[in-house]
Amino acid sequence: MKIDKLIEKYQEHGKDTGSVGVQVIILTKQIAELVPHLKEHKKDHDSRRGLLKIVNKRRKLLNYLAKTDPDKYQLITSDLKLKK
C-alpha cells in the first residue's frame, strides 16, 4: 500500500498528523528514505545517528500503541510489514 493511502486510512480527521498510527507511518517513510542514502554514503555518521533516533522513536510509539490499542497495532504492523 502507498504511504499516502495508509495515512488516510489511519487518520482520525482530515489534517491529522499527530495520532500515533499516523506518526508511525510518517516515521517509516522517513526511515525508508534514509536507508538507501546510508547504503551509498557509509561514512555519513550524522545521518546514521538521525536514523537511529527515528527508529527508536518509532519503536516507542509502537510499544505505546501495543499497550493501548493492540488491534490497531496489529493492523499497522501488518500494513507496514514490520516485525514485532
Residue 83 predicted with pLDDT over 90: no
pLDDT tens digit sequence for 17-47:
899 999 999 999 999 999 999 999 999 999 9
Is pTM beyond 0.85 here? yes
Please give the Cα distance from 51 to 45 (Å, whole number): 10
Assess contact for 65 and 77: CB atoms under 8 A.
no
Q: How many domains does the chain have?
A: 1
Range of the domain at 23: 3-80
The CATH code of the domain that includes 14 is 1.10.287.10
